[in-house]
Structure 1
Amino acid sequence: MATIEVLMNQHHQDNQHKRKDLEATYPLPTNFDQVYAFHQSMKEYAQTSLHDLKCLAHQLKVQKIYVKDESQRFGINAFKGLGVSFALNEIIKKNPQAHYTFVSCTDGNHGKALAWRANSLGHKAIIFMPKGSETRRVKAIEAFHAKVIVTDMNYDDTVRYASEYAKKHSYYFVQDTALPHYTEIPNNIVLGYSTMVCEALEQMSEKPTHVFLQAGVGSMAGGVLWYLYHHYDDQLPFIGVIESSQVACIYESIQQDKMISIGGEPYTLMAGLNCGEANFMTFPLLKEKSNCFIKCQDEITLKGMSRSQHPIQKDPVINSGESGAVGLGFIEEILTNPAYHSLKISLKIDEDSVILLFSTEGNLY
């Protein structure tokens, strides 16, 4: 099996919809300025670094490679706090005097972000995790005084179980993927991720030609793409969506032109991407506006982690974890392995390319 597989998107459509029709076509919120202002109002807020990998870009014969470093976000080592903090704010402001118990399912970072934010605001969190969850990820959540329950189910079944548990106990379910009749909170989480790309574009001196986005359920990819779609008035960069080969539900759904669920108990080092069912609220956007979908074996993210820790010459060291480093590993492999020369051409990467990547999590060590 190839370590990288790329599916060019036959469904890709440019400028199909007039701006006034966007909300009807993709029913996602657009109050980006409100989200950014909220994050900037948080005492924990600071822009995360955007690393300019000049030496690697020179070696790979492209103009620029930028990596947004989310290991610095809110002191919790991942970007997930952006979505959770905005979603909880929207919940709590409806009844600021209430004492809340929040429930969720996670592979690690979302649950840690929810535990962190709930604890900092004086509320409780109960976090369910799928079978096979690593002890280090459990302990990282428990450090924020959350109750953690590891189930004997896969991620997607655990999401449904957590939803029913919250409903049964009259708790607040805070999940980063939509379910039937459950879209407002996950949509606010998706919207919260827009701050990450808003910052990145402020920090760049040029427009990216290529943006590569990791996807588990596709909420982060959808949130970033949604912002880019508005910011560039449909003149989007080339968008690639990267998944783990073991659990590439979006890739398979695009290929078969129907929503596909990856069942069983798949394993990947990229725990944050180990999700078998796409978020149906962001999937249509990804389907129409992404240029390609990418499957990577675990060795590609290991390559990215190694490069982030051992940079070329004067490039900075980046603390990039398993789900954070796959974009960097992908770019270097595509641009150095002769076996992927035709893919490089299909991806339209050349000496003028300005590539934006997101290191969505740091290494837990």
Structure 2
Amino acid sequence: MPGPESARGASLLGNGMNHRGGRSIGIMYTVLVAENEPWVLRGIVEMVKAAGEEFEVVGACSNGEEAWTLIQEVWPMLLITDIMMPELDGLSLIRRIEEQRTPLVSVIVSGYDNFQYAQQAMVHGVSEYLLKPVEFDTLKQALQRAKEKIASLKELNAYLLKFQALLDNGWGLAPKDLMRKQDELLQSVLRLNRLNRNARAILLRLFEDKLKTLLNESGIAYSSSPPADRSDDGTIALHFQALLERWYLNQPGPAIASTPEAIERSCRYIQAHFKEEITLTEMAARTNFSVSHFSALFKKHAGQSLVGYVNRLRVDEAKKLLRSTSYSVGEIAEMTGFASTSYFTRVFKASIDLSPLEYKKRMNP
């Protein structure tokens, strides 16, 4: 497997604290946009950015299957999706989100003024149903209304991002440190029992589903057991330890002889085009695989998702620039392929527990 030295991957932006024009922005509302028509996709992304500094696009894609994959990797607070998309249409995507009880607010945009479509969307918990062409003021008002619903999801979202960061960066941790970090996060979730039992149950199920999906995609056998949230706290902790340990011990090394040529080519392409926009859909098309098959195959042989892999490459490149140049953090974020400083900062800090600025100061005393 080619070693990650410098690359840029999927067009994912940011979450967390942001600084624009010298002002600190507090709560960020992260948004994923899924739209089949490229020009409409670009237009919605730009309108979301213009709707307010608190809205941040963390991903943009052209089909429902990629949207579902990204939802489980960047955990947006808000989804804006078209109805008619390849591989997985918008309504099917919304139904899957509802079935999995994924904590996010959804908005549908559609070229069909069809009551049946709108009715189905609302039955599955869609917040808004907007008709194309989407006007800026209409979208801005919908985003503002969505903020009230998002407020109840912020705590869940924070836990999911922490768990995702743990899995994305597990390759760089010693086993005992990985287990300790998971247990610390798990214990904080278990303590929610006193305040919000429903939130606790949702998080435990999502954590468990995430680990089991990783095991299944890697072809790793594991013992099935009752849902984690139905056991006592000690049993739950042991259950998660066993799942994480199983996944970690079966991670591929940096080079595997059996790695498919298609994945080798994909990694080489990513490394050679790190300044360009690379999406999961594009990489799947290059290998003639479906989005879901490519995603699973990449995780199995690269040891992490495409998003995690390219973020790892970006951070490696950013470290070099932070150590050896006088560029600002914002400039380095742009140079390494991050479209926002805030997302760069979050990914970087999740990787090594230091912000880019703290890293720069420590490496250049």
TM-score norm. by structure 2 comes to 0.25
Greater strand share, structure number: 1
Whichever of the two has the greater Rg, that structure is 2
Greater helix share, structure number: 2
TM-score norm. by structure 1 comes to 0.25
